[in-house]
Amino acid sequence: MIETIRNAWKIPELRKKILFTVFALLIFRLGSVVPVPFINSDLLSNTLNSMGGIFSLLGTMNGTAFSMAAVFALGVQPYINSSIIIQLLTVAIPALERLQRDGGEEGRKKIAAITRYVTVAIALFQGFGYYTLIRTTNDGALLDTAGLPGWWAAIVIILCFTAGSAFVMWLGEQITEFGIGNGISIILFAGILSRVPSMVATLYTGIRNNLDGVTDQFNLPWWGAILIVIGMLAIVVLIVFIQNSERRIPVQYAKRVVGRKMYGGQSSHIPLKVNMSGVMPIIFAQAIASLPSTIGMFFGKSTESEGAWGTFLTIFDTTSVVYIVIYFLLIVGFSYFYSTMQFNPVEVANNLKKNGGFIPGFRPGKPTADFIHKVLGKITMFGALYLAIIAIAPIITGAVIGQSSLAIGGTSIIIVVGVALETTKALEAQMLMRHYKGFLE
* Per-residue pLDDT reduced to its tens digit, 266-281: 778 888 888 887 777 8
**91-108 burial by CB neighbour count: b if 16+ within 10 A, else e?**
eeeeebeebbeeeeeeee
Instruction: Tell me the pLDDT band of 50, cut-offs 50, 70 and 90.
Output: low
The Cα 370–Cα 372 span in angstroms is 6
Ranking 44-58, 141-155, 167-181, 225-239 by mean pLDDT, the lowest is: 44-58
Instruction: Tell me the pLDDT band of 49, cut-offs 50, 70 and 90.
Output: low
The partner residues of 143 in beta bridges, in order of sequence, read: 39
Taking residues 52-67, what's their average pLDDT?
62
Q: pLDDT exceeding 90 applies to what percent of the chain?
A: 8
Strand 246-253 relative to strand 256-258, pairing? unpaired
Q: Is residue 13 part of a domain?
A: yes
CATH of the domain at 1: 1.10.3370.10
**3-class DSSP assignment, residue 111:** helix
Instruction: Tell me the pLDDT band of 439, cut-offs 50, 70 and 90.
Output: very low
Q: Is residue 414 part of a domain?
A: no
The Cα 388–Cα 325 span in angstroms is 10
User: So what's the pLDDT on residue 102?
Assistant: 74
Q: Is residue 69 part of a domain?
A: yes
Strand 261-263 relative to strand 267-273, pairing? unpaired
Q: Is residue 39 part of a domain?
A: yes
User: So what's the pLDDT on residue 160?
Assistant: 92
The Cα 309–Cα 311 span in angstroms is 5
Cα distances (angstroms) measured from residue 382 to each of 57, 133, 179, 275, 386: 26, 40, 33, 8, 6
Give the largest CA-CA distance in the chain: 90
The Cα 227–Cα 191 span in angstroms is 25
**How many domains is the chain built from?**
1
Cα distances (angstroms) measured from residue 433 to each of 347, 427, 430: 27, 10, 5
User: So what's the pLDDT on residue 265?
Assistant: 61
DSSP secondary structure letters along 260-319 = TEEE---EEEEEEETTTTTTHHHHHHHHHHTHHHHHHHHTT--TTS-SHHHHHHHHTSTT
Q: Is residue 119 part of a domain?
A: yes
User: So what's the pLDDT on residue 170?
Assistant: 93
Tell me which amino acid residue 172 is.
G
| pLDDT above 90 (res 162) | yes
**175-212 burial by CB neighbour count: b if 16+ within 10 A, else e?**
bbeebbbbbbbbbbbbbbebbeeebeebbebbbebbee
Put simply, whether the predicted model's pTM sits higher than 0.85 gets the answer: no
Strand 357-358 relative to strand 246-253, pairing? antiparallel
CB atoms within 10 A of CB 117: 11
Domain span at residue 72?
1-194
Instruction: Tell me the pLDDT band of 116, cut-offs 50, 70 and 90.
Output: very high
Q: Is residue 187 part of a domain?
A: yes
User: So what's the pLDDT on residue 61?
Assistant: 63
Q: Is residue 274 part of a domain?
A: no
Q: Is residue 405 part of a domain?
A: no
* Per-residue pLDDT reduced to its tens digit, 210-267: 777 776 666 777 787 788 788 778 878 888 888 788 888 888 877 665 666 665 567 7
Ranking 179-183, 278-282, 395-399 by mean pLDDT, the lowest is: 395-399
pLDDT top residue among 1 and 292: 292
| pLDDT above 90 (res 166) | yes
* Per-residue pLDDT reduced to its tens digit, 355-385: 778 888 888 888 888 998 899 888 989 888 8
